[in-house]
């Protein structure tokens, strides 16, 4: 890919004492992965990524108390519970950073490798005293699974400590990273979050900062340098900034903490006990918070003890549409989360209905691969008029099969993960619904399990289109060679896994299904990233990495 010399591109920046200038964004031409699909992936491997399955990179959470400090709210405990609700978004590492809201020099930090419940015991929570804080749970895509890459990332600037938690992956990180390195600043990690932190330390030349740092202006400047893909929570002293990229690729939402005895009563904003921001709304109820709304694409929200306000909105180019990751609906998000005014469960239900309209089949029973395919299976059953019944029993104490190191162990893992409900299966023609197929390693053993239990026919229905392309925006999807849809057609795959038939939901059908229950559909604002399905990337292909 052509590169240009950006050595002098930072003339419009003032150098902060804590970091160097960051390069302007290199132009990225609209391209598709069909042009050179594997060249970039090999470079991504060099960054230390273990690209062995389809996983979401991470989840972010922030909380701040209202009113006088010190607060009576246990902010650290709230963040911890919020991260537990986001655990499905990342299981490798986690961290929490808190602030008293008075001093700028130091934050209290606790982070490490492992699951949240193992990292944060009572002693750790007690040490994280504060009136505001941010947290992060991580699955690596842009950097290796190491302690040094755990978030939130804390840097000490000329204006005090700054903490950042990031969900997503910078598409043009190479040009930004190269400029930092060429100007003599060493980077201690491969994490995009460190790169973001360094860029936020650079103040735009046209912004006056006589009264201290203008963080909204700095964030805006970073957003003009990096179009995709991120949702951020940024903490400095007594404020938290919630930031979503202009394409709205990664989710982020706002909630308010209400009194415990509020019940279902409507609580005015001025009576809120605090405010929270999260990758998903699924954890709000467990901490006594209520969903308010999504952070809009390009929006910068400032949270303080006085409430929240929108301080800026960075628009994307007029010819570009919103590009919310459609696989948040299909697979990644928890079913009780809210996106675009609708619950994820209802969107998955509609995917099942649409799938039944597109690919009906004569059967006696509709069932699912628990639990990710269950909502779609219910939709399929309702639309087709067939009864729904469980045919698989899941062992909840066996981890996901994609984390095991070889295909043989993955296939053996299925037998440990599921058991067949023989009395529901014997003599039946089964329509089995799942949310997606990545490599195709697990569905074959499941079909064999059902046939061994007495099923006369097994028809596979997938509530999403075939996965054909990698993702460069925060989702860990394997190489094109590993994706089974690039090797076998639906009919060939059915023969390969031993199914009587196999059919996918169409791309058009998926988009139609997720829009069915939206509270509003504005064709100008609406739009989805379907790059892993179509190879059409909203910001073009990322630059090839130099190591």
Residues 441 and 409: their CA atoms lie apart, in Å, by 10
Tell whether residue 351 is among the known ligand binding residues: no
Could you read off the pLDDT of 281-293 as tens digits, one per residue?
998 988 999 999 9
Residue 299 lies in a domain: yes
Residue 535 lies in a domain: no
- Are 287 and 371 found together in one domain? no
pLDDT computed for residue 517 by the predictor = 87
Residue 379: CB partners within 8 Å, gap ≥ 6? 348, 349, 350, 351, 352, 353, 354, 355, 356
Residue 26 lies in a domain: no
The answer to whether 337 and 278 are in contact (CB under 8 A) is no
Q: CA-CA distances (angstroms) from residue 376 to 347, 373, 388, 500?
A: 9, 6, 11, 20
Please tell me the least confidently modeled range out of 47-56, 218-227, 248-257, 304-313: 47-56
- Are 313 and 355 found together in one domain? no
Tell whether residue 312 is among the known ligand binding residues: no
Rounded to the nearest 10°, the torsion over CA 298, 302, 303, 306 is -140
- Are 307 and 354 found together in one domain? no
Q: CA-CA distances (angstroms) from residue 503 to 353, 367, 432, 437, 468?
A: 14, 15, 11, 11, 15
Tokens for 448, please give them: 């064999």
- Are 230 and 261 found together in one domain? yes
- Are 64 and 168 found together in one domain? yes
CATH code, domain carrying 296: 3.60.20.10
Average pLDDT over residues 141-164: 80
Could you read off the pLDDT of 507-517 as tens digits, one per residue?
999 999 999 98
The answer to whether 451 and 423 are in contact (CB under 8 A) is no
Residue 86 lies in a domain: yes
Query: Sorting pLDDT into bands at 50, 70 and 90, what band is 144?
Result: low
Tokens for 353, please give them: 């209905």
Average pLDDT over residues 523-531: 82
Tell whether residue 5 is among the known ligand binding residues: no
Residue 414 phi, psi dihedral angles, 5° rounding: -65, -40
Residue 50 lies in a domain: no
- Are 285 and 424 found together in one domain? no
Residues 363 and 381: their CA atoms lie apart, in Å, by 10
Domain residues for the domain of 239 are 58-320
Q: Is the pLDDT of residue 56 over 70?
A: no
Better pLDDT: 456 or 170: 456
Average pLDDT over residues 51-58: 56
Tell whether residue 435 is among the known ligand binding residues: yes
Q: Are strands 153-157 and 93-99 parallel, antiparallel or unpaired?
A: unpaired
Q: Is the pLDDT of residue 194 over 70?
A: yes
- Are 276 and 374 found together in one domain? no
CATH code, domain carrying 421: 3.40.50.2020
Residues 384 and 355: their CA atoms lie apart, in Å, by 10
User: What are the DSSP calls for 128-176, one per residue?
Assistant: ---SEEEEEEE--SSS-SSGGG-SSEEEEETTEEEEEEEEE--TTHHHH
pLDDT computed for residue 482 by the predictor = 86
Residues 117 and 83: their CA atoms lie apart, in Å, by 10
pLDDT computed for residue 44 by the predictor = 38
Cis ω for the linkage preceding 70 (within 30 of 0): yes
Tokens for 470, please give them: 């990698």
Residue 207 lies in a domain: yes
- Are 137 and 177 found together in one domain? yes
- Are 91 and 240 found together in one domain? yes
Q: Is the pLDDT of residue 433 over 70?
A: yes
Q: Is the pLDDT of residue 4 over 70?
A: no
- Are 183 and 297 found together in one domain? yes
**Residue 439: Cβ-neighbour burial (10 angstroms; 0-12, 13-18, 19+):** buried
pLDDT computed for residue 316 by the predictor = 92
Tell whether residue 434 is among the known ligand binding residues: yes
Residue whose token pair is 């994307």: 316
Could you read off the pLDDT of 321-360 as tens digits, one per residue?
999 999 999 999 999 999 999 999 999 999 999 999 999 9
As for how many domains the chain has, the answer is 2
pLDDT computed for residue 260 by the predictor = 87
| H/E segment holding residue 380 | helix 374-384
Please tell me the least confidently modeled range out of 56-65, 143-152, 305-314, 367-376: 143-152
Could you read off the pLDDT of 445-484 as tens digits, one per residue?
999 999 999 999 999 999 999 999 988 887 877 678 889 9
- Are 84 and 178 found together in one domain? yes
Please indicate whether residue 253 is annotated as part of the active site: no
CB atoms within 10 A of CB 28: 18
pLDDT computed for residue 131 by the predictor = 96
Tell whether residue 325 is among the known ligand binding residues: yes
Percent of the chain with pLDDT over 70: 82
Q: Which of 384, 518, 402 is nearest to 461 (CA)?
A: 384
Tell whether residue 150 is among the known ligand binding residues: no
Residue 4: DSSP 8-state: -
- Are 401 and 266 found together in one domain? no
SS3 sequence of 163-228: EEEEEECCCCHHHHHHHHHHCCCCCCCCCHHHHHHHHHCCEECCCCCCCCCCHHHHHHHHHHHCCC
Residue 543 lies in a domain: no
pLDDT computed for residue 413 by the predictor = 54
Could you read off the pLDDT of 255-279 as tens digits, one per residue?
999 998 887 778 888 889 999 999 9
The crossing angle, in degrees rounded to 10, of helices 374-384 and 344-358 is 50
Tokens for 28, please give them: 């990225």
Residue whose token pair is 């003032």: 14
Please tell me the least confidently modeled range out of 244-258, 398-412, 480-494, 519-533: 398-412
Residue 20 lies in a domain: no
Catalytic one of 58, 66, 202, 253: 58
- The mean of the pLDDT values for the chain is 84
Tokens for 151, please give them: 């978030």
**Residue 445: Cβ-neighbour burial (10 angstroms; 0-12, 13-18, 19+):** buried
The answer to whether 464 and 504 are in contact (CB under 8 A) is yes
Q: Which of 366, 364, 342 is nearest to 356 (CA)?
A: 366
Residues 368 and 213: their CA atoms lie apart, in Å, by 53
């Amino acid at each position: 890919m052509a590169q240009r010399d950006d050595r002098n591109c930072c003339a419009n920046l003032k150098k902060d004492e804590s970091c160097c200038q960051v390069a302007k964004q290199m132009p990225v031409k609209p391209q598709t992965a069909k042009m050179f699909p594997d060249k970039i992936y090999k470079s991504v491997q060099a960054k230390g990524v273990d690209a062995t399955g389809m996983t979401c990179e991470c989840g972010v959470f922030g909380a701040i108390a209202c009113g006088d400090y010190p607060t009576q709210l246990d902010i650290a405990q709230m963040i911890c519970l919020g991260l537990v609700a986001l655990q499905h978004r990342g299981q490798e590492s986690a961290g929490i950073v808190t602030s008293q809201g008075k001093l700028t020099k130091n934050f209290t930090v606790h982070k490490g490798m492992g699951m949240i419940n193992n990292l944060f015991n009572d002693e750790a929570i007690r040490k994280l005293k504060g009136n505001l804080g941010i947290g992060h749970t991580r699955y690596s895509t842009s950097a290796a699974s190491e302690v040094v890459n755990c978030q939130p990332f804390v840097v000490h600037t000329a204006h005090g400590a700054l903490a950042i938690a990031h969900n997503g992956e910078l598409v043009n990180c190479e040009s930004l990273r190269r400029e930092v390195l060429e100007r003599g600043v060493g980077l201690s990690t491969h994490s995009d979050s460190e790169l973001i932190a360094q860029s936020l330390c650079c103040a735009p030349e046209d912004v006056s900062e006589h009264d201290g740092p203008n963080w909204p202006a700095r964030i805006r400047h970073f957003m003009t340098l990096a179009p995709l893909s991120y949702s951020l929570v940024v903490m400095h002293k007594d404020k938290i900034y919630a930031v979503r990229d202009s394409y709205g690729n990664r989710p982020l939402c706002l909630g308010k903490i209400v009194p415990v005895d509020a019940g279902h009563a409507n609580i005015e904003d001025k009576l809120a006990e605090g405010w929270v921001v999260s990758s998903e709304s699924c954890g709000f109820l467990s901490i006594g918070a209520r969903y308010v709304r999504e952070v809009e694409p390009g929006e910068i929200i400032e949270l303080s003890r006085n409430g929240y306000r929108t301080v800026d909105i960075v628009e994307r180019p007029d010819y570009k549409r919103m590009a919310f990751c459609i696989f948040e609906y299909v697979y990644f998000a928890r079913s009780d989360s809210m996106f675009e005014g609708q619950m994820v469960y209802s969107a998955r239900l509609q995917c099942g209905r649409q799938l039944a309209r597109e690919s009906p089949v004569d059967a006696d029973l509709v069932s699912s691969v628990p639990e990710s395919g269950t909502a779609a299976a219910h939709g399929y059953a309702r639309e087709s008029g067939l009864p729904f019944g469980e045919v698989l029993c899941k062992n909840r104490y066996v981890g996901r099969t994609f984390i095991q190191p070889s295909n043989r162990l993955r296939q053996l893992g299925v037998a440990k993960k599921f058991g067949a409900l023989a009395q529901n299966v014997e003599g039946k023609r089964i329509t089995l619904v799942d949310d997606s197929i990545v490599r195709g390693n697990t569905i074959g053993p499941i079909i064999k399990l059902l046939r061994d239990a007495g099923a006369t026919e097994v028809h596979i229905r997938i509530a999403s289109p075939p996965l054909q392309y990698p993702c460069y925006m925060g989702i860990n999807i394997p190489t094109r060679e590993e994706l089974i849809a690039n090797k076998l057609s639906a009919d060939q795959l059915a023969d390969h896994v031993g199914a009587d038939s196999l059919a996918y939901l169409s791309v058009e059908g998926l988009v139609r299904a997720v829009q069915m229950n939206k509270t509003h559909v504005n064709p100008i604002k609406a739009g989805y990233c379907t790059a892993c399905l179509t190879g059409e990337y909203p910001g073009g292909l990322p630059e090839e990495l130099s190591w």
